[in-house]
Structure 1
Amino acid sequence: MMHAATFFDGEGWRDGIIDLDGERMLLRDAPPAADLPRLDGVIIGGFTDHHVHLQLVDHLLLQESTLGRVVDLGATPSVVAALSAKLGEARNASADPPPHAVIVDFAGAFLTPVGGYPSDRDWAPAGSFREIASAEAAHAAVTEMADAGASCIKVASNATAGPVFDDALFRAIVAAASARGLPVVAHAEGAGQAQRAARLGAARLAHAPFSERLDDDEIDVQAASVAWVSTLSIHDAGSEERSIAVDNVRRFRSAGGTVLYGTDMGNGPTPVGLNPAELAALRDAGMEGVDLLRAFAPQNPLDSSALLLRLPGTDADPTLARPLTSADLKA
């Protein structure tokens, strides 16, 4: 049974054809015939959370969520690589909709100075950080993460919780990561750390800056060089850190910066799936409509096993998307 369908390809809306082949739904990028019945709603691929910690949550719940991809930013490399393989296989295909495969990209272990964050944290699983004291150790750690399958390298630069790398060692990590084609994602916390991470070659900040309000010149530099993962809802509502982060994000976006949806899933009792509190915080920062949808980096549904249906009139609100079922095409 075929239907004309409008779908979001990651950048904008297009028309295609969705077909029910037995119990399997297939989306094709082809112009629908004028007389083809049209699906009542639009199709979106699975959303992306750009900051999670799978060792700290019930990761199997992801296969029943609207997330199709997650980026783990700090875990024991062998464990997260195994979770990546496990979540990449959909199970219980008799369910409707069946649990979908979830793409897991990961950084592997935090790279941190000796005694640096999160080496003293009880929540950090064994093997989830590497304490780096030299350029040689930095190269070895990056090689280890790359060989484990990492898609990025996580650097801790948290001056409020211990030592941070000096400029030379930070640059050595960036150089080693670049040689393996991997971007550096920095946890930048403390006065001046966000600006410093950008200056030293980080491609992404794991958290929208919350330690201080960046001035407009600093915002312009950030917008031109790094992307920010939002994680606004980790800060208590009404807190100074929350207000600073929301204000920074609002001005960063106005300057042309890229904001990516991320929740720090596992940091406290967060949902294993889309987080409405993070969506509300992004709206507070002025993100609406398609701009908001792009922050979730939805997969192109032509390539995604997680097909979501958003009903008409929901103004691109990601929380109102739900898994597409065969019943939607039989109606």
Structure 2
Amino acid sequence: MKKYRTIFSAFHVIYRLITTSIDIKSFLIGIAKVYKNAFKADRVVLVYKNINSYPFIKVRLDENRQDIKKGGLSILTSREREILIQEEEIVFGNRLIYPFNFFDTLGAIYIRRRKQKETFTELEKKWFLSLCEEVSIGLKIFNLYREERKIIINYIKSLTRLLDQFVPTSSLHPKSALRLIRALGKEMKLSKTEISSLEYASLLHDAGKIQLPSKILKKQKPLTEKEFKVIMKHPKKGVELIKDLDILKPIIPIILHHHERFDGKGYPSRLKKGQIPLGSRILSIIDAFDAMYFGRPYKKKKSLREIEEELRKQMGKQFDPKVVTAFLKILRRKDIRKYLRRH
């Protein structure tokens, strides 16, 4: 029964990898790990090539080693080259090999169980072939997702360019914001998927302002209470713009709640502390830093020392203390300070 659960879990993990992997390398490494765990193999080799692109990608997992290479035929052994031109799976003893060649994809999966000196059972062979068929389908779907991602990224770029033209000072400075998000994400041990979602959200968090009166957005004096109530609508309007794009659904909560406050006095939902999505808590600090460091028509620029003092003052009030602590840590790094001085 345990073996059945293991293989069913493998199918589920493959589906999850299709929808969460941010690039082909992480997808292939994830697939190789699935085979290693499901079949207790001491070696897994996965070779992949999209015929529309030059390089092969080769992932090799051994007991205590993970290796990934990208390049031409030279990265493949003579045996691996032979496997690629096979038309049928090869099953013998303690080795299982499955070549796949369809449409725009060329590749192969090879697993070995030498250490245990144990051959694969007939049931395991059937599972292996079924899983390989699932992976080949998964690669097709992943390629479609990748094309969709390209379309979405172009959509985001177009939308942010439009926003910059509409309200030049409303959006974050993208290069510095992305650099800070990546550094802060690593400091807080976020996954690549979480960091990727934050990057998208940072580009689109104020997109809803496109639907607000430009007269209010460009005003260089303090807003009236009535005008501020109009501004408070932009997170929900931003969500309306992206809600039908499946690939952007993970960033909807981040965008919707990036103006919440840790003390519960923010908007639109007056969430507080852990009720606020972590991505929103992070983005609110990135947004505030950008406004203070680069300035706004209604706000003068501040020095890094002044920014640090302001962030400390707002710990537990506007901002999550844990996120502030992590942000101040990266802000003191020489590479980050050097980067900010250049930009």
Range into which the TM-score falls when normalised by the shorter chain: under 0.3
Highest RCO, 1 vs 2 (Cα 8 Å, sep ≥ 6):
1
Which protein shows a greater Rg? Answer: 2
Structure with more of its chain in strand, by fraction: 1
TM-score calculated relative to the size of structure 1 = 0.25
